[in-house]
C-alpha cells in the first residue's frame, strides 16, 4: 500500500474514533459487502442509462449503514452522476405542512455534489455548466442564448413547475450576460427552495410558483432532467435516518410520509422518473414494525416484501430492500489490518501492533460483545483506534496488558430509535 497523506489520515482517524462517517477516504477501510455494492453499482448504471432506482438499505444501529451510503455516493460521482444527500430529522421530512419538506429540499440542494465538487454546493456550478453550453450552441447557430435555453428546456414544461423552472434558468442566464449578480443569486435561491412566499419570487424573478412542501418531489424530478441536459448522467438522492419517520407519534403525519415514499417507489418501478434514483437508509424496526414502520402501510408492505424463496442463507439483491449482511470474522481481520495501516500513515515500520495482536483483540471483543460484535462494527472500530492512541502515546506499555483491560461495551444509541417524538401537525398548519 502507498503512504497516506497526514491530512487524510487525521480526518479518517478522528471521524472513526468519534463514531461518525469520514467525509473522504472510505475506500481505505472498506471491507466486505461486495455483493451489496455490486447491486448498487448496477442501480447507478441504470440511472445513468435514463432509468430509475429505488433502494431501502436496512442495517442495525452502528452496522455501517451510513458508511455504506457514503461509499455508494462516491461511486455515483465517479460515474458522472450528480448526488444529493440529507438526514431526516424532526425539521426535515418528505411530507409536511409546516415547511419541514421544503427544509429537507433545501438541505438536499445544499449538499448537491458532482465529481469536481464532491463536498457539496454544486448547484450553481451545474447551472453555469448548462448556461455555458447554451451560450456555445447559440454562438454556433447564430441564435440568442435565451432562445437556445428555452428550446433545450422545452421538454420540462410538461412537468409540474416546469415553465417556471425554465424561466428561472433563463433569468440566471440574463444575470450572467448582464453582470447582474443579484438576479443570478435570486435564481439560485429559487432553485434551492429559499423563497418562502410567491410574492417575493414574483417580484425577484417574475415567476408565479415556489418550491413548497407539496412540490418537493416534483422539483427533484425536474432537477434530474435538468442535470442530464447539463451533461451529467443522472441524479441520485440519498436519504438517511428514516427512522425519524418511524418515531412520529402522529399517525396521519407518519402515513403521509409513507405515502410519499410509495409514490417515489411506484414512479421508480414504472420507469416514469427518468435519470433519478433514491437510496433510503433505515433500521430493521423502521421497515418491519407493523404499527409504525413501513410495513404499517399496506401498499408499501406488499411492494417491499422480501423474496420468500430467499431463505436458509440465500440472498436476493435485486429487490427494493437491501439488508446489510453482518461482517464475517475474515472481514473484521482485514478491517483491523487496514485501520492499523491507516493509523501508521501507510508506513509498515510505524505499526503500533504486531500481527498476532489483531486476532487477540478480535477474540477479546467477541467475548465481550457476543453476537453484536459482528452486527455493529462501529463499536469495535472505536475501541481499536482508542487502543492505538494509547499505544502511540505510551511506548512503554505492553499491548497484551492493554487488550485484556480494554473496555468494549455494546452501543445502546439505537434505543432512541424506539422512542416516539410528540408531534402535532396542527401546531404548524398554515392557511
Task: Enumerate the H helices of 49-179 as residue ranges.
Answer: 65-78, 100-110, 123-141, 145-152, 162-178
> Could you tell me the pLDDT band of residue 408, with boundaries at 50, 70 and 90?
low
Task: Considering only residues 1 and 76, tell me which one the structure prediction assigns the higher pLDDT.
Answer: 76
Q: Is the pLDDT of residue 407 over 80?
A: no
Amino acid 17: pLDDT: 87
Q: Is the pLDDT of residue 255 over 50?
A: yes
The mean pLDDT of 409-427, rounded to a whole number, is 51
Q: Whole-angstrom Cα distance, residue 102 to residue 386?
A: 40
Q: Is the pLDDT of residue 369 over 90?
A: no
Amino acid 428: pLDDT: 46
Q: Could you read off the pLDDT of 37-75 as tens digits, one per residue?
A: 999 999 999 999 999 999 999 988 777 888 899 999 999
Q: Is the pLDDT of residue 315 over 80?
A: no
Q: Whole-angstrom Cα distance, residue 377 to residue 328?
A: 10
* DSSP-based three-state secondary structure for 15: helix
The mean pLDDT of 352-379, rounded to a whole number, is 80
Cα 144 to its chain centre, rounded Å, is: 39
Amino acid 326: pLDDT: 77
Q: Is the pLDDT of residue 307 over 90?
A: no
Secondary element (H or E) of residue 82: strand 81-87
The mean pLDDT of 304-330, rounded to a whole number, is 78
pLDDT over 70 percentage in the chain: 90
pTM of the predicted model, to two decimals?
A: 0.87
Q: Could you read off the pLDDT of 171-203 as tens digits, one per residue?
A: 999 999 999 999 999 999 999 999 999 999 999
Mean pLDDT of all residues belonging to the chain: 87
The mean pLDDT of 397-406, rounded to a whole number, is 81
Question: How far is the CA of 357 from the CAs of 28, 204, 353, in angstroms?
Answer: 21, 65, 6
Cell numbers describing residue 277 = 434514483
Amino acid 214: pLDDT: 93
Amino acid 429: pLDDT: 47
Q: Whole-angstrom Cα distance, residue 231 to residue 403?
A: 53
CB 214 within 8 A of CB 98: no
Q: Whole-angstrom Cα distance, residue 132 to residue 174?
A: 12
Q: Is the pLDDT of residue 377 over 50?
A: yes
> Could you tell me the pLDDT band of residue 430, with boundaries at 50, 70 and 90?
very low
Amino acid 311: pLDDT: 64
Amino acid 158: pLDDT: 86
Give 377's contacts (C-beta < 8 A, 6+ positions apart): 62, 63, 64, 327, 332, 335
Q: Could you read off the pLDDT of 94-107 as tens digits, one per residue?
A: 999 899 999 999 99
Least confident of 13-22, 45-54, 62-71, 371-380: 371-380
Sign of torsion over alpha carbons 65, 67, 68, 69? positive
Q: Where along the chain do its domains lie?
A: 1-32+327-408, 33-325
Q: Whole-angstrom Cα distance, residue 140 to residue 125?
A: 23
Amino acid 389: pLDDT: 92
Q: Is the pLDDT of residue 422 over 60?
A: no
Amino acid at each position: 500500500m502507498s503512504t497516506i497523506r497526514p491530512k487524510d489520515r487525521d480526518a479518517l482517524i478522528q471521524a472513526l474514533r468519534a463514531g461518525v462517517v469520514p467525509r473522504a477516504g472510505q475506500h481505505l477501510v472498506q471491507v466486505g459487502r461486495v455483493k451489496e455494492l455490486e447491486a448498487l453499482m448496477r442501480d447507478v448504471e441504470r440511472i445513468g442509462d435514463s432509468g430509475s432506482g429505488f433502494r431501502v438499505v436496512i442495517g442495525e444501529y452502528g452496522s455501517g449503514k451510513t458508511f455504506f451510503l457514503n461509499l455508494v455516493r462516491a461511486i455515483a460521482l465517479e460515474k458522472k452522476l450528480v448526488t444529493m444527500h440529507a438526514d431526516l430529522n424532526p425539521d426535515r421530512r418528505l411530507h409536511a405542512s409546516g415547511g419541514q419538506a421544503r427544509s429537507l429540499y433545501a438541505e438536499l440542494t445544499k449538499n448537491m455534489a458532482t465529481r469536481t465538487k464532491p463536498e457539496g454546493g454544486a448547484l450553481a456550478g451545474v447551472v453555469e455548466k448548462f448556461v455555458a453550453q447554451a451560450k456555445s450552441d447559440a454562438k454556433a447557430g447564430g441564435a440568442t442564448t435565451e432562445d437556445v435555453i428555452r428550446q433545450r428546456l422545452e421538454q420540462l414544461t410538461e412537468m409540474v413547475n416546469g415553465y417556471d423552472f425554465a424561466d428561472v434558468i433563463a433569468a440566471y442566464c440574463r444575470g450572467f450576460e448582464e453582470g447582474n449578480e443579484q438576479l443570478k443569486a435570486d435564481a439560485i435561491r429559487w432553485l434551492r427552495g429559499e423563497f418562502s412566499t410567491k410574492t417575493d419570487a414574483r417580484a425577484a424573478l417574475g415567476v408565479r410558483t415556489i418550491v413548497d412542501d407539496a412540490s418537493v418531489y416534483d422539483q427533484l424530478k425536474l432537477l434530474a432532467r435538468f442535470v442530464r441536459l447539463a451533461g451529467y448522467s443522472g441524479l441520485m438522492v440519498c436519504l438517511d435516518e428514516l427512522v425519524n419517520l418511524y418515531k412520529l407519534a402522529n399517525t396521519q403525519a407518519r402515513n403521509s410520509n409513507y405515502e410519499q415514499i410509495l409514490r417515489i417507489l411506484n414512479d421508480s418501478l414504472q420507469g416514469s422518473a427518468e435519470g433519478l434514483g433514491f437510496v433510503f437508509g433505515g433500521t430493521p424496526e423502521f421497515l418491519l414494525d407493523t404499527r409504525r414502520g413501513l410495513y404499517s402501510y399496506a401498499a408499501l408492505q406488499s411492494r417491499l416484501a422480501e423474496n420468500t424463496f430467499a431463505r436458509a442463507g440465500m440472498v436476493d439483491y435485486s429487490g427494493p430492500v437491501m439488508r446489510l449482511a453482518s461482517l464475517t470474522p475474515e472481514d473484521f481481520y482485514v478491517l483491523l489490518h487496514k485501520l492499523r495501516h491507516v493509523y501508521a500513515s501507510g508506513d509498515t515500520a510505524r505499526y503500533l501492533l504486531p500481527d498476532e495482536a489483531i486476532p487477540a483483540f478480535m477474540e477479546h471483543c467477541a467475548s465481550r460483545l457476543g453476537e453484536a460484535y459482528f452486527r455493529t462494527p462501529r463499536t469495535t472500530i472505536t475501541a481499536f483506534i482508542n487502543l492505538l492512541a494509547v499505544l502511540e502515546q505510551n511506548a512503554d506499555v505492553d499491548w497484551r496488558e492493554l487488550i485484556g483491560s480494554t473496555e468494549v461495551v455494546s452501543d445502546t444509541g439505537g434505543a432512541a430509535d424506539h422512542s416516539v417524538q410528540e408531534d402535532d401537525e396542527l401546531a404548524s398548519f398554515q392557511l
